[in-house]
């Protein structure tokens, strides 16, 4: 199978989850999606991550994003773990967590760790997942890929920021600069002339011929 890249069709699959069985593409429907993996249930970093995503559920919903967790345990373990996650983080986790005990989905998305990278994340020759993130758009194309080691918890505010940038650049001929936050100036796409940019945006500032900053129209 060819490696997954930006623009690849997100592989479809069927799986059992904490909210019932799913076909992945059907579950995404016409929404955006975040698929993110966890090495195992009852692990400390993952417990904080899933709690954080549960707290951010309204922010993902506001962006029309459906969230799918994945861990390499069965549904029985998942159910007990969700109780821990809710208690420790004071949340009510509602999004599905995929039960991937046989690692079929983890293999499909190349999420598995290796002895060469982290021998503590491989037990009795069986690898656990790294902390993978796939942002997938409504036509099921992969738009962003992030990979963290098991020891490093993810920054979900950054994932939301990246989704904001992706969705905005789908609607406007722009790119976003370093450390951009919603409401900040954007960069005019290199394929748009300065003259055309001044027709599209209320204000355009040319720092260099190839670097033009713009304010977005008020409705954005």
Q: What are phi and psi of 136, to 5 degrees?
A: -125, 135
For residues 190-214, b (16+ Cβ closer than 10 Å) or e, as one string?
Answer: eebeeeebeebbeebeeeeeeebbb
* Three-class SS state of 93: coil
**Could you confirm whether 46 is annotated as catalytic?**
yes
The active-site residue, picked from 34, 46, 82, 99, is 46
Distance CA 60, CA 62 (A): 5
Distance of CA 150 to the CA centre of its chain: 16
Distance CA 38, CA 111 (A): 9
Q: Which residues are catalytic?
A: 46
């Amino acid at each position: 199978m060819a490696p997954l890249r930006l623009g690849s069709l997100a592989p479809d699959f069927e799986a059992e989850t904490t909210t019932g069985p799913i076909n992945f593409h059907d579950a995404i429907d016409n929404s955006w999606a975040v698929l993110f993996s966890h090495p195992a249930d009852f692990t400390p970093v993952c417990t904080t991550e899933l709690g954080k995503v549960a707290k951010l559920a309204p922010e993902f919903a506001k962006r029309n994003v459906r969230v799918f967790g994945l861990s390499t345990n069965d549904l029985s373990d998942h159910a007990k773990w969700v109780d821990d996650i809710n208690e420790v983080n004071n949340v009510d986790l509602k999004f599905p967590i995929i039960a991937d005990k046989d690692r079929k989905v983890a293999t499909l998305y190349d999420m598995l760790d290796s002895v060469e990278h982290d021998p503590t994340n491989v037990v009795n020759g069986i690898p656990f997942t790294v902390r993978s993130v796939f942002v997938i758009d409504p036509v099921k194309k992969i738009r962003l890929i992030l990979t963290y080691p098991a020891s490093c918890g993810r920054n979900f505010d950054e994932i939301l920021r990246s989704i904001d940038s992706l969705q905005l650049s789908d609607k406007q001929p722009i790119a976003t600069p370093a450390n951009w936050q919603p409401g900040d100036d954007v960069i005019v796409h290199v394929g748009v002339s300065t003259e055309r940019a001044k027709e599209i945006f209320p204000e355009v500032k040319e720092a260099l011929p190839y670097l033009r900053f713009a304010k977005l129209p008020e409705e954005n």
